[in-house]
Structure 1
Amino acid sequence: MQLAESKTLSIAILHSPQDVYDFMSQPASFARWASGLGKPLGNEGTVWRFEGENGPVIVRFTERNAYGVLDHAVELPDGTEVHVPMRTVANGTGTEVLFALFRVPGMSDDKFAADAQWISRDLNTLKALLEAK
């Protein structure tokens, strides 16, 4: 068995874990901060369709839970599926949002670094959006 290279990205947000989780557990909210997803096109339960750069993207979200788990699987227009582990955890009176990025087979060093930068930008957008409330 071989493990994929991974990188955990995180950001501290000055809002309670419950407030952050309540916002992020609404799939439509992802379109407000996750730059890879455009407007929501519809859903059936926890399966949502969003506009994507290269066509519709299907996202299967974890059901709401008491543990801050926001895992989701993204199916790209070409059929590739990417698993995205994501969590909210208490950090003092605020929240730490954790995002695990996995390097997919064949991904170059530059692409892996670019994906990490992209996710960091999205997490900063999430922070700004929530802290502006």
Structure 2
Amino acid sequence: MNSTGLASRHISIRIDRPVEEVYAYASDPAHLPAWAQGLGGAIEKIGDQWVAASSPMGRVVVSFAPLNDFGVLDHHVTLPSGMTVYNPVRVISNEAGSEVVFTLRRQAQMSDADFERDAGMVADDLARLRTLMESKS
């Protein structure tokens, strides 16, 4: 890889809920529309894939890492153009609570403004996830 590889930014948020609860909720794709606004208002399972037909980008297909004991929520998003974006995500323990870490990767040909916009959208999504999780008691 050359020295101009894709930039990454780690965006994280602390959630005052046990790591097992956060992982169980966030790893269920049916919950995504409640906190991941980029997927639009609905996602449905079609075969072994999850499809968000009404996302702001158009129809996107999301493939998730298998359930695991390590808090890995990695997923691939296939855009209408056919391009697939890999999103590494982890839920890790943070004292009695959790921390969710999303690694945003800057895509080739992405402007600074687009990268900042995407980072803001991810931060907003994580804030929604925190609000949802912390309202459960």
Category of TM-score, reference length = shorter chain: over 0.9
Residue identity over aligned pairs, in percent, reads 39
Gaps of 5+ in 1: none
Q: 2:31 aligns with which of 26, 29, 32?
A: 29
Q: After the TM superposition, which parts of structure 1 deviate over 6 Å for at least 4 consecutive aligned residues?
A: none
| TM-score, with structure 2 as normaliser | 0.92
Equivalent pair of 2:14/2:94 in contact (CA under 8 Å): yes
Cα RMSD (Å): 1.0
The 5-angstrom pairing of residues 1-133 of structure 1 reads 1-2=1-2, 3-38=5-40, 39-45=42-48, 47-51=49-53, 52-133=55-136
In the alignment of these two chains, the number of paired residues is: 132
Partners of 1:17 and 1:105 in 2: CA distance:
34
Gap runs ≥5 in structure 2? none
User: Which TM-score applies when normalising by structure 1?
Assistant: 0.95
**Deviation per CA, 1:72-122, whole angstroms, max 9, x where unpaired?**
000111211110000000000000000000111111111111110111011
Give the match's secondary structure for 1:78: coil
For 2:24, the aligned partner's letter is D
